[in-house]
């Protein structure tokens, strides 16, 4: 069984010497309760060392810890990072919403700029999320046969649960929207709804991009640089 917790990613790291925010406290109490109730062998998350590096880059005067790992370690539970690093994401064919928007804007049938942005987000959801979620599942390996807690961005809860179900793996959502403001909840739900409602249209644009690039979408332009330096 996989027990799913949906969060805003800010709760997954915490200042090393700072007090818990109310969001961090809610997250910690939830995770500790889940550990007591279900006694998982693994706590895994949509997070990586690069995720924390981005937090540090935005807040250079503060040191940060991996909060999920800290909670897991204190409880004596194995912890696994499951999110692919940026280079791996690009190698897998992920582009990111900005690059999808840029490629859509290059199509012959002109798309208004503001709609390119919305469609870029939807391309990320409909095309990249399945790639990343399959990667998460692959990282769990043999542990998937045991009780697992998996922490991810709240928007992924349904799609990741659907993937698990397609593999015959039961799952249950135990908490969601931890750390999310009402504005962020509204934005996230709206993006997912738009992607779902425009699935056929988005697939059409994806096929148009495939035709433009001769059957293969080019890798993200930054991939070659990352492969030289990392």
**Burial zone of 84 (CB within 10 Å; 0-12 exposed, 13-18 middle, 19+ buried):** buried
Cβ neighbours of 216 (radius 10 Å): 9
The pLDDT, as a whole number, for residue 44 is: 98
The pLDDT, as a whole number, for residue 227 is: 84
Count of structural domains, the chain: 1
The pLDDT, as a whole number, for residue 230 is: 57
The pLDDT, as a whole number, for residue 31 is: 98
Secondary-structure breakdown of the chain: helix, strand, coil percentages, each rounded to the nearest 5: 60, 15, 25
The DSSP code sequence of 125-172 is: IIIIHHHHHHHHHHHHGGGGGS-EEEEEEGGGHHHHHHHHHHTT--EE
Domain extent, residue 188, equals 2-229
pTM for the predicted model, two decimal places: 0.94
Q: Mean pLDDT of successive 10-residue segments in the chain (230 residues)?
A: 97 91 97 98 97 91 94 98 96 96 88 88 97 97 94 98 97 98 97 96 94 94 84
Task: List the one residue out of 22, 17, 35, 10 whose CA is nearest residue 148.
Answer: 35
**Burial zone of 74 (CB within 10 Å; 0-12 exposed, 13-18 middle, 19+ buried):** exposed
The pLDDT, as a whole number, for residue 109 is: 76
């Amino acid at each position: 069984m996989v027990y799913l917790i949906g969060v805003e990613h800010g709760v997954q790291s915490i200042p090393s010497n700072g007090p818990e925010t109310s969001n961090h406290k809610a997250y910690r109490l939830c995770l500790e309760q889940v550990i007591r109730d279900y006694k998982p062998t693994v706590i895994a998350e949509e997070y990586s060392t690069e995720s924390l590096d981005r937090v540090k880059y935005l807040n250079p005067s503060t040191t940060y810890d991996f909060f999920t790992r800290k909670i897991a370690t204190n409880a004596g539970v194995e912890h696994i990072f499951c999110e692919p690093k940026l280079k791996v994401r690009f190698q897998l064919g992920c582009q990111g919403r900005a690059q999808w928007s840029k490629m859509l804007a290059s199509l012959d049938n002109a798309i208004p700029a503001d709609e390119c942005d919305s469609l870029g987000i939807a391309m990320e959801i409909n095309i990249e999320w399945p790639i990343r979620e399959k990667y998460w599942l692959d990282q769990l390996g043999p542990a998937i046969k045991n009780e697992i807690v998996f922490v991810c961005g709240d928007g992924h809860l349904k799609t990741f649960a659907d993937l698990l179900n397609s593999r015959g793996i039961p799952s249950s959502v135990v908490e969601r929207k931890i750390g999310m403001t009402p504005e962020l909840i509204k934005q996230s739900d709206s993006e997912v709804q738009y992607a779902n409602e425009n699935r056929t249209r988005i697939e059409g644009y994806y096929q148009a991009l495939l035709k433009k690039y001769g059957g293969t979408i080019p890798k993200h332009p930054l991939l070659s640089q990352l492969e030289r330096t990392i």
